[in-house]
Structure 1
Amino acid sequence: MSALELPRFEELMLPVLELIANGRETVKDSLPEIQVRFSLSDEQMEMLLPSGKQTTISNRMHWARNYMKHAGLVEPVAWGRYRITALGKDLLKTNPERIDKVALAQYPLYQTWQSQQIPGAIKESLPIEEGKAETPEERIEAAYVQLDLGLAEELLEQVMSLTAARFEQLIVELLIAMGYGDGRAEMGQAIGKSGDGGIDGVVNEDKLGLDAVYIQAKRYALENTVGRPALQAFVGSMTGESATKGVFVTTSTFSKEAREYVRRVQQRVVLIDGARLARLMIDHGVGVVIEKTYVLRSIDANFFESV
Protein backbone atom coordinates (compact mmCIF):
# COMPACT_ATOMS: atom_id res chain seq x y z
CA MET A 1 0.00 0.00 0.00
CA SER A 2 1.41 3.37 -0.98
CA ALA A 3 1.47 6.55 1.10
CA LEU A 4 0.10 8.29 -1.97
CA GLU A 5 -3.27 6.72 -1.12
CA LEU A 6 -3.36 8.84 2.00
CA PRO A 7 -4.81 12.38 1.82
CA ARG A 8 -2.21 14.97 0.93
CA PHE A 9 -1.35 17.61 3.48
CA GLU A 10 -3.40 20.31 1.73
CA GLU A 11 -6.43 18.01 1.75
CA LEU A 12 -6.04 17.78 5.50
CA MET A 13 -6.02 21.53 6.15
CA LEU A 14 -9.78 22.07 6.34
CA PRO A 15 -10.50 18.95 8.43
CA VAL A 16 -7.66 19.78 10.82
CA LEU A 17 -8.87 23.37 11.21
CA GLU A 18 -12.42 22.16 11.92
CA LEU A 19 -11.16 19.67 14.49
CA ILE A 20 -9.06 22.32 16.24
CA ALA A 21 -12.14 24.55 16.31
CA ASN A 22 -13.96 21.69 18.05
CA GLY A 23 -11.35 21.43 20.76
CA ARG A 24 -9.00 18.83 19.30
CA GLU A 25 -5.82 20.61 20.35
CA THR A 26 -3.29 17.94 19.32
CA VAL A 27 -2.68 15.84 16.25
CA LYS A 28 -3.18 12.73 18.38
CA ASP A 29 -6.62 13.95 19.46
CA SER A 30 -7.61 14.43 15.81
CA LEU A 31 -6.43 11.10 14.40
CA PRO A 32 -9.58 9.01 15.10
CA GLU A 33 -11.85 11.51 13.34
CA ILE A 34 -9.45 11.89 10.42
CA GLN A 35 -9.51 8.12 10.00
CA VAL A 36 -13.30 8.12 9.84
CA ARG A 37 -13.54 11.17 7.58
CA PHE A 38 -11.20 9.72 4.95
CA SER A 39 -12.20 6.07 5.47
CA LEU A 40 -8.63 5.07 6.24
CA SER A 41 -7.80 1.54 7.33
CA ASP A 42 -5.77 0.75 10.43
CA GLU A 43 -2.95 -0.27 8.11
CA GLN A 44 -2.97 3.12 6.44
CA MET A 45 -3.04 4.91 9.80
CA GLU A 46 0.02 2.95 10.93
CA MET A 47 2.13 3.60 7.83
CA LEU A 48 5.44 5.14 8.85
CA LEU A 49 7.77 7.66 7.28
CA PRO A 50 11.04 6.19 5.94
CA SER A 51 12.71 7.25 9.18
CA GLY A 52 10.29 5.09 11.14
CA LYS A 53 9.90 7.87 13.71
CA GLN A 54 6.38 9.03 12.89
CA THR A 55 3.29 7.87 11.02
CA THR A 56 2.82 9.42 7.59
CA ILE A 57 -0.69 10.67 8.37
CA SER A 58 0.49 12.39 11.57
CA ASN A 59 3.32 14.02 9.66
CA ARG A 60 0.97 15.36 6.99
CA MET A 61 -1.43 16.67 9.63
CA HIS A 62 1.49 18.39 11.31
CA TRP A 63 2.44 20.16 8.07
CA ALA A 64 -1.17 21.13 7.40
CA ARG A 65 -1.33 22.75 10.82
CA ASN A 66 2.08 24.36 10.37
CA TYR A 67 1.06 26.10 7.15
CA MET A 68 -2.21 27.32 8.71
CA LYS A 69 -0.27 28.63 11.70
CA HIS A 70 1.77 30.84 9.41
CA ALA A 71 -1.44 32.21 7.92
CA GLY A 72 -2.71 33.08 11.39
CA LEU A 73 -5.60 30.59 11.35
CA VAL A 74 -4.36 28.66 14.39
CA GLU A 75 -1.92 29.43 17.18
CA PRO A 76 0.02 27.34 19.73
CA VAL A 77 -1.14 27.38 23.34
CA ALA A 78 1.39 24.87 24.66
CA TRP A 79 3.87 22.35 23.27
CA GLY A 80 2.01 20.48 20.50
CA ARG A 81 -1.35 22.06 21.38
CA TYR A 82 -3.15 24.55 19.15
CA ARG A 83 -6.31 26.61 19.16
CA ILE A 84 -8.21 28.36 16.40
CA THR A 85 -7.83 32.13 16.02
CA ALA A 86 -10.38 34.77 15.10
CA LEU A 87 -9.12 34.56 11.49
CA GLY A 88 -9.66 30.82 11.50
CA LYS A 89 -13.17 31.16 12.86
CA ASP A 90 -14.01 33.77 10.23
CA LEU A 91 -12.78 31.45 7.49
CA LEU A 92 -14.92 28.55 8.72
CA LYS A 93 -17.99 30.82 8.74
CA THR A 94 -17.65 31.07 4.95
CA ASN A 95 -18.07 27.28 4.68
CA PRO A 96 -15.01 26.76 2.43
CA GLU A 97 -14.91 23.61 0.34
CA ARG A 98 -11.15 23.39 0.68
CA ILE A 99 -8.17 25.12 2.24
CA ASP A 100 -4.87 24.99 0.38
CA LYS A 101 -1.77 27.10 -0.19
CA VAL A 102 -3.63 29.25 -2.72
CA ALA A 103 -6.25 30.07 -0.10
CA LEU A 104 -3.62 30.76 2.54
CA ALA A 105 -1.79 33.15 0.20
CA GLN A 106 -4.50 35.78 0.77
CA TYR A 107 -3.36 36.26 4.36
CA PRO A 108 -0.64 38.87 5.04
CA LEU A 109 1.06 36.72 7.70
CA TYR A 110 1.42 33.87 5.22
CA GLN A 111 2.72 36.23 2.55
CA THR A 112 5.33 37.54 4.98
CA TRP A 113 6.36 34.01 5.93
CA GLN A 114 6.70 32.99 2.30
CA SER A 115 8.78 36.07 1.52
CA GLN A 116 11.21 35.02 4.26
CA GLN A 117 11.73 31.57 2.77
CA ILE A 118 14.76 30.80 0.61
CA PRO A 119 14.02 32.14 -2.89
CA GLY A 120 14.14 30.24 -6.14
CA ALA A 121 13.70 26.52 -6.62
CA ILE A 122 13.60 25.81 -2.90
CA LYS A 123 11.07 28.48 -1.89
CA GLU A 124 8.18 26.01 -1.78
CA SER A 125 9.42 22.79 -0.37
CA LEU A 126 7.62 20.28 1.81
CA PRO A 127 5.57 18.33 1.16
CA ILE A 128 7.10 17.75 -2.27
CA GLU A 129 4.52 17.06 -4.93
CA GLU A 130 5.02 14.78 -7.88
CA GLY A 131 5.32 16.24 -11.33
CA LYS A 132 7.33 19.32 -10.38
CA ALA A 133 10.11 20.37 -12.73
CA GLU A 134 12.86 20.58 -10.10
CA THR A 135 15.73 18.16 -10.27
CA PRO A 136 16.08 15.48 -7.55
CA GLU A 137 18.92 17.48 -6.02
CA GLU A 138 16.74 20.59 -5.80
CA ARG A 139 13.96 18.61 -4.20
CA ILE A 140 16.31 17.22 -1.57
CA GLU A 141 17.61 20.71 -0.85
CA ALA A 142 14.06 22.04 -0.64
CA ALA A 143 13.03 19.32 1.77
CA TYR A 144 16.06 19.94 3.97
CA VAL A 145 15.43 23.69 4.15
CA GLN A 146 11.76 23.30 5.05
CA LEU A 147 12.42 20.62 7.65
CA ASP A 148 15.16 22.77 9.16
CA LEU A 149 12.89 25.82 9.35
CA GLY A 150 10.12 23.73 10.86
CA LEU A 151 12.50 22.34 13.48
CA ALA A 152 13.62 25.85 14.43
CA GLU A 153 10.00 26.93 14.95
CA GLU A 154 9.14 23.89 17.05
CA LEU A 155 12.33 24.25 19.05
CA LEU A 156 11.48 27.84 19.95
CA GLU A 157 7.97 26.80 21.01
CA GLN A 158 9.48 24.14 23.26
CA VAL A 159 11.90 26.67 24.75
CA MET A 160 8.95 28.95 25.54
CA SER A 161 7.43 26.17 27.66
CA LEU A 162 10.46 26.04 29.99
CA THR A 163 10.53 27.63 33.41
CA ALA A 164 12.58 30.79 33.80
CA ALA A 165 15.25 28.90 35.76
CA ARG A 166 15.51 26.11 33.17
CA PHE A 167 15.71 28.67 30.36
CA GLU A 168 18.61 30.41 32.08
CA GLN A 169 20.38 27.08 32.52
CA LEU A 170 19.75 26.30 28.85
CA ILE A 171 21.55 29.46 27.77
CA VAL A 172 24.55 28.56 29.94
CA GLU A 173 24.58 25.06 28.40
CA LEU A 174 24.40 26.57 24.92
CA LEU A 175 27.41 28.83 25.48
CA ILE A 176 29.35 25.87 26.86
CA ALA A 177 28.38 23.83 23.77
CA MET A 178 29.62 26.71 21.60
CA GLY A 179 33.06 26.40 23.18
CA TYR A 180 32.95 29.11 25.84
CA GLY A 181 34.57 28.05 29.09
CA ASP A 182 36.64 25.58 27.09
CA GLY A 183 33.45 23.56 26.62
CA ARG A 184 33.48 22.42 30.25
CA ALA A 185 30.18 22.38 32.14
CA GLU A 186 31.76 23.41 35.45
CA MET A 187 32.86 26.71 33.90
CA GLY A 188 29.27 27.94 33.59
CA GLN A 189 26.66 28.79 36.19
CA ALA A 190 23.04 29.93 36.06
CA ILE A 191 22.45 32.47 38.83
CA GLY A 192 18.70 32.95 38.39
CA LYS A 193 17.53 34.16 41.77
CA SER A 194 15.82 37.18 43.24
CA GLY A 195 18.14 40.12 43.52
CA ASP A 196 20.56 38.81 40.90
CA GLY A 197 21.14 42.36 39.72
CA GLY A 198 20.00 41.60 36.17
CA ILE A 199 22.59 38.84 35.70
CA ASP A 200 21.08 35.42 35.01
CA GLY A 201 24.26 33.44 34.41
CA VAL A 202 27.99 33.58 33.91
CA VAL A 203 30.49 31.53 31.95
CA ASN A 204 34.14 31.79 32.98
CA GLU A 205 36.53 31.71 30.06
CA ASP A 206 39.51 30.85 32.23
CA LYS A 207 39.90 28.66 35.31
CA LEU A 208 40.48 31.59 37.68
CA GLY A 209 37.42 33.49 36.46
CA LEU A 210 39.50 36.50 35.42
CA ASP A 211 37.61 36.70 32.12
CA ALA A 212 33.91 35.97 32.08
CA VAL A 213 30.81 36.31 29.90
CA TYR A 214 27.73 37.54 31.74
CA ILE A 215 24.27 36.46 30.61
CA GLN A 216 20.79 37.94 30.66
CA ALA A 217 18.10 35.47 29.49
CA LYS A 218 14.47 36.49 29.02
CA ARG A 219 11.57 34.40 27.71
CA TYR A 220 9.27 36.82 25.95
CA ALA A 221 6.38 36.26 23.56
CA LEU A 222 7.21 37.25 19.99
CA GLU A 223 5.19 40.45 20.20
CA ASN A 224 7.11 41.65 23.29
CA THR A 225 10.10 43.34 21.70
CA VAL A 226 13.08 43.97 23.98
CA GLY A 227 13.76 47.70 24.04
CA ARG A 228 16.64 49.95 25.02
CA PRO A 229 15.72 50.21 28.74
CA ALA A 230 16.23 46.47 29.26
CA LEU A 231 19.67 46.68 27.62
CA GLN A 232 20.59 49.73 29.71
CA ALA A 233 19.72 47.82 32.88
CA PHE A 234 21.82 44.85 31.78
CA VAL A 235 24.80 47.03 30.93
CA GLY A 236 24.41 48.72 34.32
CA SER A 237 24.53 45.31 36.02
CA MET A 238 27.62 44.41 34.02
CA THR A 239 29.29 47.66 35.12
CA GLY A 240 28.56 46.74 38.74
CA GLU A 241 30.39 43.45 38.17
CA SER A 242 33.26 45.15 36.30
CA ALA A 243 32.31 42.93 33.36
CA THR A 244 33.31 43.70 29.78
CA LYS A 245 31.49 40.90 27.92
CA GLY A 246 27.80 40.13 27.94
CA VAL A 247 25.15 38.14 26.06
CA PHE A 248 21.49 39.15 26.14
CA VAL A 249 19.22 36.36 24.93
CA THR A 250 15.49 36.57 24.28
CA THR A 251 12.92 34.36 22.61
CA SER A 252 11.43 37.44 20.93
CA THR A 253 13.22 40.27 19.09
CA PHE A 254 15.15 43.46 19.82
CA SER A 255 14.08 46.95 18.85
CA LYS A 256 16.17 49.08 16.52
CA GLU A 257 16.97 51.41 19.44
CA ALA A 258 18.22 48.49 21.55
CA ARG A 259 20.54 47.30 18.79
CA GLU A 260 21.89 50.80 18.21
CA TYR A 261 22.47 51.26 21.94
CA VAL A 262 24.70 48.17 22.36
CA ARG A 263 26.83 49.30 19.45
CA ARG A 264 27.73 52.48 21.35
CA VAL A 265 28.47 51.14 24.83
CA GLN A 266 31.98 50.37 26.01
CA GLN A 267 31.12 46.77 26.97
CA ARG A 268 30.88 44.13 24.28
CA VAL A 269 27.28 42.92 24.31
CA VAL A 270 25.97 40.31 21.87
CA LEU A 271 22.22 40.18 21.22
CA ILE A 272 20.60 36.82 20.43
CA ASP A 273 16.94 36.91 19.39
CA GLY A 274 14.58 33.95 19.12
CA ALA A 275 15.42 33.06 15.53
CA ARG A 276 19.17 33.13 16.19
CA LEU A 277 18.73 31.20 19.44
CA ALA A 278 16.96 28.35 17.65
CA ARG A 279 19.63 28.31 14.94
CA LEU A 280 22.47 28.19 17.47
CA MET A 281 20.78 25.34 19.36
CA ILE A 282 20.43 23.35 16.14
CA ASP A 283 23.97 24.07 14.95
CA HIS A 284 25.50 23.06 18.30
CA GLY A 285 23.25 20.11 19.08
CA VAL A 286 21.50 21.55 22.12
CA GLY A 287 17.97 20.22 22.61
CA VAL A 288 18.04 18.33 19.29
CA VAL A 289 19.22 14.93 18.11
CA ILE A 290 20.19 13.58 14.70
CA GLU A 291 17.24 11.51 13.57
CA LYS A 292 18.61 10.17 10.31
CA THR A 293 21.59 10.76 8.04
CA TYR A 294 21.44 10.56 4.25
CA VAL A 295 24.61 10.17 2.20
CA LEU A 296 24.64 11.40 -1.40
CA ARG A 297 27.42 10.08 -3.60
CA SER A 298 28.64 11.27 -6.98
CA ILE A 299 31.15 10.08 -9.56
CA ASP A 300 34.78 10.66 -8.67
CA ALA A 301 36.07 12.18 -11.92
CA ASN A 302 39.69 12.01 -10.75
CA PHE A 303 39.42 8.26 -10.25
CA PHE A 304 38.35 7.63 -13.82
CA GLU A 305 40.80 10.12 -15.33
CA SER A 306 43.65 8.20 -13.72
CA VAL A 307 42.57 4.86 -15.18
Structure 2
Amino acid sequence: MNHSAPPVPTFDALLVPTVQALQTLGGSGTIEEIYEQVIQLLNLPDQILEIIHGNTSQSEVEYRLAWSRTYLKKYGLLENSARGVWSLTSTTINPDNLDPREVVRFVRELDKKNKASIDLPNQSTETTENLDESTWHQQLHEILLSLDPAAFERLAQRLLRESGFIQVQVTGKSGDGGIDGVGIARINGFLSFHVLFQCKRYQGSVTASQIRDFRGAMQGRTDKGLMITTGTFTRDAIKEATRDGAPPIDLIDGEQLVQRLKELGLGVKINLIESVDVDAEWFTKI
Protein backbone atom coordinates (compact mmCIF):
# COMPACT_ATOMS: atom_id res chain seq x y z
CA MET A 1 0.00 0.00 0.00
CA ASN A 2 1.31 3.44 -0.92
CA HIS A 3 1.26 5.82 2.04
CA SER A 4 1.78 9.36 0.82
CA ALA A 5 3.39 11.85 3.19
CA PRO A 6 1.01 14.23 4.99
CA PRO A 7 0.94 17.76 3.58
CA VAL A 8 2.96 20.58 5.10
CA PRO A 9 0.67 22.74 7.27
CA THR A 10 -0.32 25.99 5.56
CA PHE A 11 0.74 29.24 7.21
CA ASP A 12 -2.81 29.98 8.41
CA ALA A 13 -3.01 26.52 9.98
CA LEU A 14 0.08 27.47 12.00
CA LEU A 15 -1.39 30.65 13.49
CA VAL A 16 -3.07 29.06 16.51
CA PRO A 17 -0.20 26.62 17.23
CA THR A 18 2.21 29.59 17.22
CA VAL A 19 0.19 31.33 19.93
CA GLN A 20 -0.09 28.07 21.89
CA ALA A 21 3.66 27.53 21.60
CA LEU A 22 4.40 30.97 23.02
CA GLN A 23 2.01 30.39 25.89
CA THR A 24 3.80 27.14 26.68
CA LEU A 25 7.12 29.01 26.60
CA GLY A 26 5.85 31.53 29.16
CA GLY A 27 4.78 34.25 26.76
CA SER A 28 8.00 34.73 24.80
CA GLY A 29 10.57 32.72 22.87
CA THR A 30 13.15 32.69 20.13
CA ILE A 31 12.30 31.55 16.61
CA GLU A 32 14.02 28.23 17.33
CA GLU A 33 12.06 27.70 20.56
CA ILE A 34 8.76 28.51 18.87
CA TYR A 35 9.61 26.11 16.04
CA GLU A 36 10.37 23.27 18.48
CA GLN A 37 7.13 23.81 20.39
CA VAL A 38 4.99 23.98 17.26
CA ILE A 39 6.33 20.74 15.81
CA GLN A 40 5.74 19.06 19.18
CA LEU A 41 2.18 20.38 19.35
CA LEU A 42 1.42 19.18 15.83
CA ASN A 43 3.57 16.05 16.09
CA LEU A 44 5.03 16.73 12.65
CA PRO A 45 7.02 13.79 11.21
CA ASP A 46 10.61 14.02 10.00
CA GLN A 47 9.65 13.67 6.31
CA ILE A 48 7.73 16.94 6.64
CA LEU A 49 10.39 18.77 8.67
CA GLU A 50 13.12 17.91 6.18
CA ILE A 51 11.35 19.45 3.17
CA ILE A 52 13.38 22.46 2.02
CA HIS A 53 11.63 25.52 0.62
CA GLY A 54 12.90 26.02 -2.92
CA ASN A 55 16.53 27.01 -3.22
CA THR A 56 16.84 28.41 0.30
CA SER A 57 18.37 27.38 3.61
CA GLN A 58 14.99 27.16 5.33
CA SER A 59 12.72 24.20 5.72
CA GLU A 60 9.19 24.59 4.37
CA VAL A 61 7.79 24.56 7.93
CA GLU A 62 10.18 27.32 9.05
CA TYR A 63 9.28 29.28 5.94
CA ARG A 64 5.55 29.15 6.63
CA LEU A 65 5.98 29.80 10.36
CA ALA A 66 7.71 33.06 9.42
CA TRP A 67 4.53 34.20 7.68
CA SER A 68 2.42 33.08 10.63
CA ARG A 69 4.48 35.29 12.96
CA THR A 70 4.17 38.21 10.55
CA TYR A 71 0.37 37.90 10.32
CA LEU A 72 0.01 37.59 14.10
CA LYS A 73 2.21 40.65 14.57
CA LYS A 74 0.13 42.72 12.13
CA TYR A 75 -3.02 41.46 13.86
CA GLY A 76 -1.64 42.80 17.14
CA LEU A 77 -1.06 39.55 19.02
CA LEU A 78 2.74 39.33 18.70
CA GLU A 79 5.69 41.68 18.92
CA ASN A 80 9.40 41.04 18.42
CA SER A 81 12.55 42.64 19.77
CA ALA A 82 15.75 43.54 17.94
CA ARG A 83 17.33 40.40 19.40
CA GLY A 84 14.85 38.16 17.62
CA VAL A 85 12.70 37.29 20.64
CA TRP A 86 8.98 37.09 19.90
CA SER A 87 6.37 37.63 22.60
CA LEU A 88 2.62 37.74 23.09
CA THR A 89 1.20 41.24 23.51
CA SER A 90 -1.19 40.02 26.21
CA THR A 91 -1.31 37.23 28.78
CA THR A 92 -5.07 36.87 28.32
CA ILE A 93 -5.10 35.71 24.69
CA ASN A 94 -7.31 32.66 24.27
CA PRO A 95 -6.19 30.61 21.24
CA ASP A 96 -9.53 28.78 21.26
CA ASN A 97 -11.21 32.04 20.25
CA LEU A 98 -8.68 32.84 17.51
CA ASP A 99 -10.12 32.47 14.02
CA PRO A 100 -7.33 32.11 11.41
CA ARG A 101 -9.67 33.28 8.64
CA GLU A 102 -10.35 36.51 10.52
CA VAL A 103 -6.60 37.07 11.03
CA VAL A 104 -5.89 36.61 7.32
CA ARG A 105 -8.81 38.86 6.30
CA PHE A 106 -7.79 41.60 8.74
CA VAL A 107 -4.14 41.65 7.69
CA ARG A 108 -4.90 41.72 3.97
CA GLU A 109 -7.37 44.56 4.44
CA LEU A 110 -4.72 46.38 6.49
CA ASP A 111 -2.17 45.95 3.72
CA LYS A 112 -4.61 47.35 1.20
CA LYS A 113 -5.27 50.38 3.38
CA ASN A 114 -1.56 50.97 3.80
CA LYS A 115 -1.12 50.68 0.04
CA ALA A 116 1.47 48.02 0.75
CA SER A 117 -0.41 45.19 -0.83
CA ILE A 118 1.71 42.65 -2.68
CA ASP A 119 0.75 39.36 -4.22
CA LEU A 120 0.25 37.69 -0.87
CA PRO A 121 -0.33 33.93 -0.76
CA ASN A 122 -3.72 32.40 -0.35
CA GLN A 123 -4.26 29.89 2.40
CA SER A 124 -2.83 26.98 0.45
CA THR A 125 0.25 28.45 -1.22
CA GLU A 126 3.85 28.84 -0.17
CA THR A 127 4.66 31.91 1.86
CA THR A 128 7.56 34.06 2.97
CA GLU A 129 7.96 36.56 5.80
CA ASN A 130 8.54 39.39 3.37
CA LEU A 131 9.99 39.75 -0.11
CA ASP A 132 13.16 41.56 0.94
CA GLU A 133 13.96 38.93 3.57
CA SER A 134 13.35 36.14 1.07
CA THR A 135 15.48 37.78 -1.62
CA TRP A 136 18.64 38.31 0.41
CA HIS A 137 18.29 34.93 2.14
CA GLN A 138 18.09 33.11 -1.16
CA GLN A 139 20.85 35.15 -2.77
CA LEU A 140 23.24 34.56 0.12
CA HIS A 141 22.40 30.87 0.30
CA GLU A 142 23.10 30.44 -3.43
CA ILE A 143 26.45 32.18 -3.00
CA LEU A 144 27.38 29.91 -0.08
CA LEU A 145 26.51 26.83 -2.13
CA SER A 146 28.65 28.08 -5.01
CA LEU A 147 31.79 28.45 -2.87
CA ASP A 148 34.45 25.79 -3.29
CA PRO A 149 35.10 23.71 -0.13
CA ALA A 150 38.31 25.57 0.77
CA ALA A 151 36.57 28.96 0.53
CA PHE A 152 33.71 27.77 2.69
CA GLU A 153 36.20 26.56 5.31
CA ARG A 154 37.90 29.98 5.27
CA LEU A 155 34.49 31.61 5.70
CA ALA A 156 33.86 29.41 8.74
CA GLN A 157 37.27 30.42 10.09
CA ARG A 158 36.43 34.12 9.70
CA LEU A 159 32.99 33.58 11.23
CA LEU A 160 34.50 31.98 14.34
CA ARG A 161 37.15 34.67 14.68
CA GLU A 162 34.53 37.40 14.43
CA SER A 163 32.51 35.54 17.07
CA GLY A 164 35.35 35.64 19.60
CA PHE A 165 37.31 32.46 18.89
CA ILE A 166 41.10 32.63 18.92
CA GLN A 167 43.80 30.53 17.25
CA VAL A 168 41.35 29.32 14.61
CA GLN A 169 43.07 27.09 12.09
CA VAL A 170 41.70 25.33 9.03
CA THR A 171 43.17 21.88 8.70
CA GLY A 172 40.97 20.28 6.06
CA LYS A 173 43.41 17.42 5.59
CA SER A 174 42.14 14.31 3.87
CA GLY A 175 42.04 11.33 6.15
CA ASP A 176 41.44 13.55 9.17
CA GLY A 177 38.04 12.04 9.87
CA GLY A 178 36.15 15.01 8.54
CA ILE A 179 37.75 17.55 10.89
CA ASP A 180 38.04 20.82 8.97
CA GLY A 181 39.52 23.03 11.65
CA VAL A 182 40.19 23.83 15.27
CA GLY A 183 39.84 26.91 17.45
CA ILE A 184 39.71 28.06 21.04
CA ALA A 185 36.48 29.53 22.37
CA ARG A 186 36.91 32.21 25.03
CA ILE A 187 34.19 32.94 27.57
CA ASN A 188 34.29 36.37 29.19
CA GLY A 189 38.06 36.44 28.85
CA PHE A 190 38.56 33.81 31.54
CA LEU A 191 37.43 30.35 30.47
CA SER A 192 38.56 28.73 27.25
CA PHE A 193 38.17 25.36 25.59
CA HIS A 194 39.26 23.77 22.34
CA VAL A 195 36.64 23.21 19.64
CA LEU A 196 36.92 21.08 16.53
CA PHE A 197 34.67 22.10 13.67
CA GLN A 198 33.37 20.52 10.50
CA CYS A 199 31.85 22.30 7.49
CA LYS A 200 29.18 20.76 5.26
CA ARG A 201 28.37 22.89 2.23
CA TYR A 202 25.29 21.36 0.68
CA GLN A 203 21.55 21.72 0.59
CA GLY A 204 20.53 18.43 2.14
CA SER A 205 20.03 17.42 5.75
CA VAL A 206 22.85 16.27 8.02
CA THR A 207 21.95 12.89 9.54
CA ALA A 208 22.54 11.34 12.94
CA SER A 209 25.14 8.97 11.47
CA GLN A 210 27.16 11.95 10.21
CA ILE A 211 27.06 13.44 13.71
CA ARG A 212 28.33 10.13 15.12
CA ASP A 213 31.12 10.01 12.53
CA PHE A 214 32.19 13.53 13.48
CA ARG A 215 32.15 12.65 17.17
CA GLY A 216 34.27 9.60 16.44
CA ALA A 217 36.86 11.82 14.73
CA MET A 218 36.86 14.07 17.82
CA GLN A 219 37.66 11.15 20.12
CA GLY A 220 40.61 11.87 22.38
CA ARG A 221 41.23 15.31 20.86
CA THR A 222 38.62 17.57 22.44
CA ASP A 223 35.35 17.43 24.33
CA LYS A 224 33.57 19.98 22.18
CA GLY A 225 32.56 20.01 18.52
CA LEU A 226 30.85 22.41 16.13
CA MET A 227 29.21 21.48 12.84
CA ILE A 228 28.34 24.20 10.32
CA THR A 229 26.14 23.47 7.31
CA THR A 230 24.34 25.41 4.61
CA GLY A 231 21.56 22.83 4.88
CA THR A 232 19.54 21.54 7.82
CA PHE A 233 19.80 18.87 10.50
CA THR A 234 17.38 15.98 10.86
CA ARG A 235 15.55 15.60 14.16
CA ASP A 236 17.63 12.52 14.95
CA ALA A 237 20.82 14.47 14.21
CA ILE A 238 19.82 17.19 16.68
CA LYS A 239 19.07 14.58 19.33
CA GLU A 240 22.37 12.79 18.65
CA ALA A 241 24.32 16.04 18.98
CA THR A 242 23.14 16.48 22.57
CA ARG A 243 22.89 12.83 23.60
CA ASP A 244 23.56 12.22 27.30
CA GLY A 245 26.98 10.75 28.04
CA ALA A 246 28.49 11.80 24.69
CA PRO A 247 30.70 14.83 23.93
CA PRO A 248 28.30 17.62 22.88
CA ILE A 249 28.30 19.00 19.36
CA ASP A 250 26.87 22.44 18.65
CA LEU A 251 24.99 22.83 15.37
CA ILE A 252 24.71 25.80 13.01
CA ASP A 253 22.27 25.23 10.17
CA GLY A 254 21.89 27.28 6.99
CA GLU A 255 19.33 29.65 8.46
CA GLN A 256 21.46 30.39 11.54
CA LEU A 257 24.50 30.78 9.30
CA VAL A 258 23.00 33.47 7.06
CA GLN A 259 21.60 35.32 10.07
CA ARG A 260 24.99 35.25 11.81
CA LEU A 261 26.71 36.56 8.68
CA LYS A 262 24.15 39.37 8.63
CA GLU A 263 24.72 40.20 12.31
CA LEU A 264 28.49 40.32 11.85
CA GLY A 265 28.28 42.22 8.57
CA LEU A 266 30.24 39.55 6.71
CA GLY A 267 29.31 39.93 3.05
CA VAL A 268 25.97 41.47 4.04
CA LYS A 269 25.34 45.21 4.21
CA ILE A 270 22.31 46.69 5.92
CA ASN A 271 21.11 49.88 4.23
CA LEU A 272 19.21 52.18 6.55
CA ILE A 273 16.78 54.66 5.05
CA GLU A 274 16.97 58.05 6.71
CA SER A 275 13.67 59.69 7.63
CA VAL A 276 13.64 63.43 8.26
CA ASP A 277 10.72 65.19 9.95
CA VAL A 278 10.39 68.96 10.22
CA ASP A 279 9.17 70.19 13.61
CA ALA A 280 7.21 73.31 12.67
CA GLU A 281 6.29 73.97 16.30
CA TRP A 282 9.96 74.31 17.22
CA PHE A 283 10.28 77.40 15.01
CA THR A 284 7.40 79.13 16.81
CA LYS A 285 9.45 79.08 20.01
CA ILE A 286 12.38 81.07 18.61
Q: TM-score, normalised by structure 2?
A: 0.52
Relative to its length, the structure with more strand (as a share) is 2
Separation in 2 of the partners of 1:237 and 1:288?
A: 33
- Cα RMSD over matched residues? 4.1
Which residue number in structure 1 is paired with residue 27 of structure 2?
A: none
Structure 2, unaligned stretches of length 5 or more? 1-51, 76-102, 105-110, 119-128
Q: Deviations over 1:164-217 (max 9, x none)?
A: 111111111111112222xxxxx211111211222101112369xx72221010
In structure 1, give the amino acid aligned to 2:158: E
Greater RCO between the two (CA within 8 Å, min separation 6)?
2
Query: Residue 202 of structure 2 corresponds to which residue in structure 1?
Result: 220
Q: What secondary structure sits across from 2:232 in the alignment?
A: coil
Specify the alignment match of 2:66 in structure 1: 116
Query: CA distance change for structure 1 residues 71 and 193 in 2, over 3 Å: closer, same or farther?
Result: closer
Work out the number of aligned pairs and report it. Answer: 179
| Identity over aligned pairs, percent | 30
In the alignment, the residues of structure 2 paired with residue 110 and residue 259 of structure 1 have an alpha-carbon distance, to the nearest angstrom, of 18
Match of 2:235 in 1: 256
Deviating above 6 A after TM superposition, structure 1's stretches of 4 or more consecutive aligned residues are 109-112, 297-300
Normalized per residue, the structure richer in helix is 1
Deviations 1:274-304 (A, max 9, x none): 11111111111112234x322447899xx9x
Match of 1:229 in 2: 209
Task: State whether residues 188 and 201 of structure 1, in contact with CA within 8 Å, keep that contact through their aligned partners in structure 2.
Answer: yes
Are residues 258 and 177 of structure 1, via their aligned partners in 2, closer, same or farther at CA, if it must alter by over 3 Å?
same
Residue in 1 that maps onto 2:123: none
Shift in alpha-carbon separation, 1:288–1:218, aligned structure 2, 3 A: same
Counterpart code for 1:246: G
Match of 1:274 in 2: 254
Other structure's SS at 2:136 match: helix
CA distance in 1, matches of 2:218, 2:61: 41
- Gapped runs of 5+ residues in structure 1? 1-69, 77-108, 125-130, 182-186
- The 5 A counterparts of 1:39-58 are none
Q: Matched residue of 1:294: which SS?
A: coil
Task: Give the whole-Å Cα distance in 1 for the aligned partners of 2:61 and 2:196.
Answer: 38
Cα shift readout 1:151-171 (whole Å, capped 9, x = no counterpart): 122111100001111111111
